[in-house]
């Protein structure tokens, strides 16, 4: 069967280009694997049929001839396990790529997402005046150890792919600009043709299904 990836039919402007199916689309593009996007909306995502695929009613969900998966990190690692474009085939190298994927998702993204939630969903609320500087400081603390490598493991891997999608979450608020070498790293990864194809594929249905 053709690989299938679930994605939203439309999301508000602030989320466009950031929904996590982008990670899976990008990984598939890097691996040269064709796929079909299964578009869902905010009603059908809560259906029993979709929850049997993605129990938390989120995107992305994934299926191929062998597996049915949810969680973007798990899906990217599954794709990387089949493609040397995303991870070495030898166990030591693949383990290090897995390490960076998990680090991006567990050690950094919870903090970038808290900051984004404050700025987008709670903007102007009184409690954010005290909490935002603390949340920002935590992001800074998490970004500092990343250094100035061209890639995390010498060449582009799934670790760079996921890390880049996390770093993109602190571009609009200006925080990544404090780390010029990291911003260059992010731009380098975003400059890959596979990223451009993945981003356009995500945005295309948003434009087609935009509310009047």
Q: How does pLDDT run across 120-162, given as a tens digit for each residue?
A: 889 888 998 999 999 999 999 999 999 888 999 989 999 999 9
pTM to 2 decimals?
Answer: 0.95
Maximum Cα–Cα distance for the chain, whole Å?
52
Which pLDDT score, from 0 to 100, does residue 197 have? 98
Angle formed by the axes of helices 72-80 and 158-167, nearest 10°: 150
Q: Is the pLDDT of residue 29 over 90?
A: yes
Q: At a CB cut-off of 8 Å and minimum separation 6, what does 175 contact?
A: 115, 136, 139, 140, 143
Token match 């920002």: residue?
Answer: 136
Which pLDDT score, from 0 to 100, does residue 1 have? 78
Which pLDDT score, from 0 to 100, does residue 42 have? 84
Dihedral angle of Cα 22, 27, 29, 32, to the nearest 10 degrees: -160
| Secondary structure element (H or E) that encloses residue 6, with its range | strand 3-8
CA 129 to chain centroid, in Å, comes to 28
The residues that bridge with 61 in the sheet, in sequence order, are 70
| Side-chain-facing half-sphere of 110: CA atoms under 13 Å | 5
The candidate with the shortest Cα–Cα distance to 33, out of 69, 58, 64, is 64
Which pLDDT score, from 0 to 100, does residue 47 have? 95
SS3 47: coil
Which pLDDT score, from 0 to 100, does residue 212 have? 78
Judge whether 204 and 28 are in contact, CB under 8 Å. no
- Per-residue model confidence as pLDDT tens digits over 167-210: 999 999 999 999 999 999 999 999 999 999 999 999 999 999 99
Two tokens at 10?
């439309």
SS3 165: helix
């Amino acid at each position: 069967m053709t690989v299938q990836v679930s994605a939203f039919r439309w999301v508000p402007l602030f989320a466009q280009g950031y929904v996590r199916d982008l990670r899976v689309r990008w990984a598939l593009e890097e691996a040269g694997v064709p796929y079909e996007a299964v578009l869902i909306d905010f009603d059908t995502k809560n259906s029993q049929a979709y929850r049997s695929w993605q129990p938390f009613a989120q995107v992305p969900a994934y299926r191929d001839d062998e597996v049915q998966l949810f969680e973007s990190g798990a899906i990217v690692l599954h794709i990387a396990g089949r493609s040397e474009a995303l991870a070495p085939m030898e166990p030591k190298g693949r383990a290090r790529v897995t390490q960076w994927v998990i680090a991006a998702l567990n050690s950094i993204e919870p903090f970038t997402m808290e900051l984004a939630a404050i700025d987008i969903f709670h903007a102007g609320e009184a409690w954010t005046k005290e909490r935002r500087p603390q949340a920002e400081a935590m992001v800074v603390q998490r970004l500092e150890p990343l250094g100035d490598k061209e890639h995390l493991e010498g060449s582009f891997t799934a670790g760079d792919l996921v890390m880049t999608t996390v770093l993109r979450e602190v571009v609009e608020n200006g925080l990544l600009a404090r780390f010029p070498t990291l911003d260059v790293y992010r731009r380098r990864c975003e400059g890959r043709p596979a990223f451009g194809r993945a981003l356009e594929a995500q945005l295309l249905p948003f434009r087609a299904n935009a509310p009047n």
